[in-house]
Structure formats: structure tokens, C-alpha cells
Amino acid sequence: MKKSFLAFAVVLEASSTFAQDLTSKKGENFLPEAGDWAISINANPLLNYVGNFFGGNGLNVAPTFDFTASNNAIMGKYFVEDGMAYRVGLNIGFGTQTERANTADLSVGAVAGSVVEDTKKTSSSGIFLTGGLEWRKGTTRLQGFYGAEVGFGFGGGSKEVYTYGNTFEFVTLPSLTNAVDGAVDVRENQTKGGISFGIRGFIGAEYFIIPKLSLGGEFGWGLGLATTGESTTLENRINLTGTALEDNTTVTSSKGSSFILGTDNRSTIFSPSAQMKISFHF
């Protein structure tokens, strides 16, 4: 964190050599104008790189960038007036992962040393959307801003599906263990998604280092509501008479809800509070 602030000071010191003119020598406006678009990225990788450079860290590496929001949303703005902008954040995410592991072939008559494959497939999905209004203050390259946003989230559930290379044999194999993670007789773990809602006010500041490129951050405070679905486990097992398989579904976690009132750091919808970011306007 100290290195980040050091880097921030270095950047501001370098930029102070420029006059507080709001246009460059080429006639470019430093500040955003009506009709401009903007996108923001996390500034910490760059600030850490600059701080390590001036701190003489021999292990310093070139920065990589990530999203500004804790939920990895793409954040953007559209300026409807010179001092007013619409803000939007969007994340639509779907993911799957399949893990495989070999295990001994336990079937009757199997060749010694032969193996079969167990698998575990994990899938998840979620949609997050934020929108709001931003107003700006200031007549120099140091600009303050404030506004309000609302956010919605849907999904966030996940499912794990297990398959087994061996099959149940009532006498010799009354139970099966998956070689991927040791799950016993489990066919499916599922967590149902929920709904999230948040509303907040925010205030921040940014400094335009060069035309249409700024470094800044913001604080937010508001409330959030969220629901979570129940989690279940589906197992195959031998029935009490030992003659057939039966399904058994167990609720491992019940439905829930939460209410949050505080800074952005306590919410999964909006960006972390006071995060430094670089914004590009075009």
C-alpha cells in the first residue's frame, strides 16, 4: 500500500510540471465532454510496478490489469453533459470445469492393473448489473464527482456432477469412492442461486494526468439485500434389502437471506471502497 501511494505521488509530481491549462499544446481537452465514453481498470498493478521501480525491487515485473469491481464487472460511463455521466457495470459469467482421475478397475474379471476413469464436472453461472448517475465538480484537472447507483444480481449457484468408472455390484461393491476428490456415493452436489439488490451513494476524485486519462478513486455507502438458495446432495446407495439402488437427497444448507448497511467493502455488487483506478475517456 505504501508503494502504491509513493507511485501515486510520483505520478502527480510528474504531472505538476504541466500548466493547469485545460487544453494541451495540440488543443486536446483534458476533461471529458458531452458524448465521451470512458472505461476504468484497476490502477494497483501499475502503481505497484512504479513503486517497485523507484524502490529498487529487482524482482519487479511488468503489470497486468484486472477488473475494477469485486465481482469482475466491466465498468463504463457515457457523458450526456460535460459534467454528468451515466454509469454502468455488467458481468455475465458462465463456467464449467471437468476433473478426471484414474482408479483401479474393480469389475468382476478385470485384468490386474487395469484402470477406469472417474470424473467431476463443476458448473456455475451469475449475472450482475449496476447503473447510476454521476455529477462532476471542479474547474481544474483535479475533478471531484458524486452520484448514486443501483445494482442487481441473479444466479450465483453451482452444480457438481460425479461419474464413476466402476459400477455398483451389490455384493462386491456396495459403495463407490470417486477418485477425483474422495466423494463417497455422491452423484450430484447443487447450490441454487439467489437474487441480490443494492443501492448506494458515492463520492470520489480523479486527476487528469494527460488529456482524457485520469487516476482516482471513490468511496461508497449504501445498503444491500441478498438471498441464497438451498444446497443439496444426491447420493446413490444400496437399499436396505441389498437388492437395488436408491436415490437419497439430503439438504446440506437451507435457504438464507442477508441485509447489509455500510461501505462498499461489505457488498459483492459494487466496487471495493477507495480502490485506485485509471480511467480512459474517448
pLDDT in tens, 197-250: 889 999 999 999 999 999 998 888 888 888 999 999 999 888 777 788 889 999
Q: How far is CA 81 from the centre of its chain?
A: 31
Hey, which of 12-16, 124-128, 141-145 has the most confident mean pLDDT?
Answer: 141-145
pLDDT at 161: 98
pLDDT at 89: 87
Q: Is the pLDDT of residue 102 over 90?
A: yes
pLDDT (average), residues 140-159: 92
Q: Is the pLDDT of residue 61 over 60?
A: no
Lowest-confidence pick of 33-42, 155-164, 211-220, 260-269:
260-269
Q: Work out how many domains the chain is built from and give that number.
A: 1
Lowest-confidence pick of 104-113, 193-202, 272-281:
272-281
pLDDT at 5: 47
Look up the pTM and report it.
Answer: 0.72
d(CA 236, CA 248): 6
How many Cβ atoms sit within 10 Å of the Cβ of residue 280? 12
Q: Is the pLDDT of residue 68 over 70?
A: no
Q: Which domain holds residue 80?
A: 2-281
pLDDT band of 8, cuts 50, 70, 90: very low
pLDDT at 237: 81
